[in-house]
Structure 1
């Protein structure tokens, strides 16, 4: 019976994912890229001949969370929205990440599978952490980076985050409480994405999820690691960030990362790409094109 229930939750999630994709405002093609660690699902929009831009989403949100940003981004870039392997999304893990190096190797193999030598990146939260990890191991594969509300990275996540996040599992009320904590009364998640998040939290799969593991995530980079990251970086925090103190994180970033521009955006919180997509996308495009 438990096996049947798991299959039902997985199917419910896939259905909700497709409903979320109905929000995608531009044409796209989707496919899987094969890597050592499994099949990585990619949603591609924009001109195939344009400069590549990879998007890495926040934990449990999947690539569908980029729907408010994609239209403007793909006017200038070949945009590849990547479902992070091992998280709740459509990617299909086969081999477990053993350490931080394996997380970076996965992204290197995604780039190889896409025939991309070097790319720009935008990462949000867990996605931003993955981008910074790639920078640590393979800066030659990265051009410019936009980091939005990175998970850990500069300062530890607050105990409140773990309290809210763990209570989401198999609990729709837990999801609602988490969203209220993240957004306050500033934003209401579209019902398609909320349905997807509900289904994802009900779908318990040992191969999917961002619970801290021996592989090293989440991670706060040490001073030496930060000082050796030379790629151009734009770092954005929301003034209503609740996962940590954004001022503390910003100060540490400026102190140690050599080629960084860091700002706190007023009126938004952790998921600012959803709360204020126009402002967030403007900042990203201005930086990437400069």
Structure 2
């Protein structure tokens, strides 16, 4: 893959199709949304914003490749109580443009998220992350506890326990040689035949196959001593049918070793569809977690 700075992805046939798919999913947001581009030393970050101007702010970080559009089943419920900032991860699929300094370390990743918050005028905020976004969110809350009002981790992988070997085995071919079919097959395997929004799956598959991504920076799983010092009100919302980990066992691990953290298991949810389904239960859990003090 050529360096990001030399690829004008927006003008390619694949790029045009990807952004059309992005816009189709964004149109599913049943609420007025403002698209904002925030500058930092790493490039321009696209943030989709909705909700009352004077409401408490909440920042949403999606899973890898999912883009900020993935929250279409959640934003209306959240925007009743919060000012929502849904972020396209820079260097990942979406409308953020990684044309500045490259993200080379977890420090850079944290500096980037700080820059996004500052550009948006946020001094403290609720922080929600799903999957890879949960890894970023947890690392950020450990480093910047004064800035994070509440932390919500949706089916967090590699935050409190490792991932299952079968999940990793299915993911490896996709990571080595991504294409649309492999992405679709992987998601359908993990979700066990659940109904999946076809527009979102099309966006995810096109992003996996064609989007010129940066190297993914992965925060390490925090040590127990670091988690013991986590000062932010934190809720882990786990998908009962996740193939990433055994959610029942993970809930037990959290309860026994990290009693200050709260965990909830949502029945019927899978890892990759969690932001979208089951929407009513998830939205109630999100609102309760973000309202806790």
Shift, 1:218, TM fit: 5.0
Within a 5 Å distance, the mapping from 1:18-97 to structure 2 comes to 18-93=23-98, 94-97=100-103
Structure 2: 5+ residue runs without aligned partners? none
In 1, the alpha carbon distance for the partners of 2:106 and 2:7 equals 34
In 2, the alpha carbon distance for the partners of 1:255 and 1:155 equals 13
Contact 2:33–2:49 (8 Å) recurs in 1: yes
Within a 5 Å distance, the mapping from 1:138-153 to structure 2 comes to 138-153=144-159
Contact 1:146–1:235 (8 Å) recurs in 2: yes
Partner of 1:191: 198
Shift, 1:68, TM fit: 0.5
Shift, 1:171, TM fit: 2.6
In 1, the alpha carbon distance for the partners of 2:183 and 2:256 equals 36
- CA pair 101-257 structure 1, distance change in 2 beyond 3 A: farther
Contact 2:106–2:219 (8 Å) recurs in 1: no
Question: 1:201 aligned to 199, 208, 217, which one?
Answer: 208
1:24 is paired with a residue whose SS is coil
- CA pair 138-258 structure 1, distance change in 2 beyond 3 A: farther
- CA pair 206-76 structure 1, distance change in 2 beyond 3 A: closer
Contact 1:146–1:233 (8 Å) recurs in 2: yes
> Are 2:173 and 1:167 equivalent residues in the alignment?
yes
The TM-score with structure 2 as length reference comes to 0.89
In 1, the alpha carbon distance for the partners of 2:129 and 2:165 equals 23
Shift, 1:5, TM fit: 10
Structure 1: 5+ residue runs without aligned partners? none
Shift, 1:98, TM fit: 2.3
Shift, 1:288, TM fit: 2.1
**Paired positions, count:** 282
Contact 1:230–1:257 (8 Å) recurs in 2: no
In 2, the alpha carbon distance for the partners of 1:62 and 1:76 equals 23
In 1, the alpha carbon distance for the partners of 2:110 and 2:24 equals 31
